Amino acid sequence: MATGKVVVKYIDTDGKSILKDVVRTGTVGEDYITEEKNISGYTFQGIRGNSKGKYTDKIQTITYVYTKNHIIKPKDELVNSGTKIINKTNPKVKNSSSEKSQKLPETGENKKRSILFFISGLTLITLGSTIIVFRHKKE
């Protein structure tokens, strides 16, 4: 009886192998099944070839393609030292925000308008209080 071979590859989108190839053998005409794997740090993207089929007298290659997940460092990994932010795990690596100024974002608040509203409100309260006092004196 002839033997067939199926090679299962697990690669990233750059074509780099991320798991050891799995080689399966079986009798020609017999069914085979391959499966995607959960790989830490990667998300399954697609498959090249058939995940199910029959062994043949030729070597069949099935390739599972994965995308590398972008890892975001937790905030506690960064330490603010004055005006520069230093990465605790690798102090030589500068964080992109260290080149930016430490200025807070604009909120759209207008200082002159705020002062004007404050003075207007204070004037109205004073005027209202004065009217109440004079009315109370007349009675």
- Is residue 12 within a helix (H) or strand (E), and if so which, with residue range? strand 3-12
Identify whether 130 is part of a domain: no
Which residue, among 106, 85, 88, has the nearest Cα to 96 in the 3D structure? 85
Residue 8 phi, psi dihedral angles, 5° rounding? -110, 120
Pair 12, 66: CB distance under 8 Å: yes
The pLDDT value given to residue 38: 92
CATH code assigned at 43 = 3.10.20.320
Specify the higher pLDDT residue, 137 or 79: 137
- Is residue 87 within a helix (H) or strand (E), and if so which, with residue range? strand 84-87
**Structural domain boundaries, residue 9:** 3-68
Work out how many domains the chain is built from and give that number. Answer: 1
Q: Tens of pLDDT along 47-80? A: 999 999 999 999 999 999 999 998 776 655 555 5
Q: How far apart are CA 117 and CA 111, in angstroms?
A: 10
Residue 79 region by backbone torsions, left for phi larger than 0, else alpha for psi between -120 and 50, else beta: beta
Band of pLDDT at residue 98, cut at 50, 70 and 90:
very low
Pair 63, 51: CB distance under 8 Å: no
Identify whether 93 is part of a domain: no
Identify whether 80 is part of a domain: no
